[in-house]
Structure 1
Amino acid sequence: MRQACPTRPFSTILMPFQNIDRHDCFIVQQERHMGQDMMQAAALWNAHGPALFLRRGTIEMLESALQALLPAGTQALAEDALRLARRYQRLSGTPEIRFRLEKISHDSCRRFHVDHVPLRFLCTYTGPGVQWKYADSDTIHETPAGWITLLKGRLYPGWSTKGAVLHRSPPISALTVPVTRLLLTLDHPDACGMGRRDDA
């Protein structure tokens, strides 16, 4: 277990995800190294999958919808994303969640911000991961692909600005080699104006 050091460009908050309940904890990250099967599945999704898969529902509803459109060779990606969805569901305690799997090839959410949600769960399968920083610091921390990030949002009970963590999507438009990020975002079911049904 290591605490993030605000003076280092690459840093981690490695601790049990349940520690997000602590009043002084705003981010938890888990290191993961994707195997060849996962990397290949993510590449195939980028090549043949939909640009955006966005649903609200129970894990069973999400699994059914996801399995119905899987490109060949992407089963490992779907299974991992659903495992993460089950994990987020246990952490959040909500019977339904908002599940977003998106291909991103442009600069998105370039400003550092705090989401208007209780908890946000992120995993970038391809391309650079989420960037984050403490509200009172200019040091930007970068997250490797495959790692899991859990962020406390403004709607989390007892949230305050003291010690808050801001995050953003990494700018990619200026990279010399074009990159497509494949990002999984898991949220409370009403995040970002989702309707009461499970379809986007």
Structure 2
Amino acid sequence: MLSTSCPTRSLFPLISAPLPQTIGKGPLLRIRRPLSSPLQQAIAAHMAYGPSLLLARGRPQHIGTLLQPHMPPDAVLLLKDALALARLYQVHSGLSEVRFRLEHVSTDSCRKFHTDHVKLRLLCTYHGLATEWVPPEFLQADTLNERGVPATIPADCIHRLDTGDIALLKGRANAGHTGVVHRSPPVSHLPKNQRTRLLLTIDEPTACGMSDDQNPTVRHTVC
């Protein structure tokens, strides 16, 4: 039986521990969770038949209305889960509207370590290798550039989230924080059938300069 002490608990029936009510003073909040068999089946359906990119902004309920017509019938559970994460982001960010991006990633476009110029970003990798990050205790202030990233990062300092984990990362725009140093895992060296990831990103509605005529954006990869 799950604890009822956390107001966001009901959004995540698959999580076996109460969710924290605040992100706290640290730069990253990681919520570990397994992906249920029904959710994994929905993910597989989306990977096989769904759009390679779903981009929208607004309140989660409105985003659901915009995107559900573009989801394969067997992938609706994936959209429900992703919208629940959008509501979690609302709780922690205090924002009523969010930017929602669910995409297939199969390149090394974000392979370099970086910090985000946002206050807060939520990431969840539903399929494939998950985000890599560097805990702040491994970052020496005198080695960081103006974006809070060191010139070199030893391999043993790199941590990786697990598939299905929920991560809330503070960015450089968050007062008092230099932002979480992270990257997408390099995949170009892997066999082609192991490169694709399914990544959910939730952040501020104005992130990345999203315009009204992009709402929603739906793309299908042409084979």
Whole-angstrom CA distance in 2 between matches of 1:108 and 1:36: 30
Q: Residue 155 of structure 1 aligns with which residue?
A: 173
Whole-angstrom CA distance in 2 between matches of 1:26 and 1:142: 15
- Pick the aligned partner of 2:205 from 171, 180, 189: 189
1:167 equivalent to 2:182? Answer yes
Superposition deviation, residue 158 in structure 1: 2.5
1:20 equivalent to 2:23? Answer yes
Q: Residue 216 of structure 2 aligns with which residue?
A: 199
Name stretches of at least 5 consecutive residues in structure 2 with no aligned partner.
Answer: 1-16, 140-152, 218-223
Whole-angstrom CA distance in 2 between matches of 1:125 and 1:58: 22
Give TM-score scaled by structure 1 length.
Answer: 0.84
Whole-angstrom CA distance in 2 between matches of 1:83 and 1:16: 13
CA, structure 1 residues 180+153, in 2 after alignment: closer, same or farther (shift >3 Å)?
same
Whole-angstrom CA distance in 1 between matches of 2:67 and 2:19: 28
Q: Give CA-to-partner distance per residue, 1:11-61, whole Å, 9 cap, x none.
A: xxx995545341xx1011011101111111111111111110011111121
Q: Give CA-to-partner distance per residue, 1:74-125, whole Å, 9 cap, x none.
A: 0111110011111111111111100000011121301111101110100000
Residues 1-200 of structure 1 aligned to structure 2 (within 5 Å)? 17-22=20-25, 25-134=26-135, 136=139, 138=154, 139-159=157-177, 161=178, 164-176=179-191, 177-196=193-212, 198-200=215-217
Q: How much identity, in percent, do the aligned residues show?
A: 45
CA, structure 1 residues 67+45, in 2 after alignment: closer, same or farther (shift >3 Å)?
same
Name the larger-Rg structure. 2
Superposition deviation, residue 189 in structure 1: 0.6
Name stretches of at least 5 consecutive residues in structure 1 with no aligned partner.
Answer: 1-13
CA RMSD of aligned residues (A): 2.0
**How many pairs align?**
182
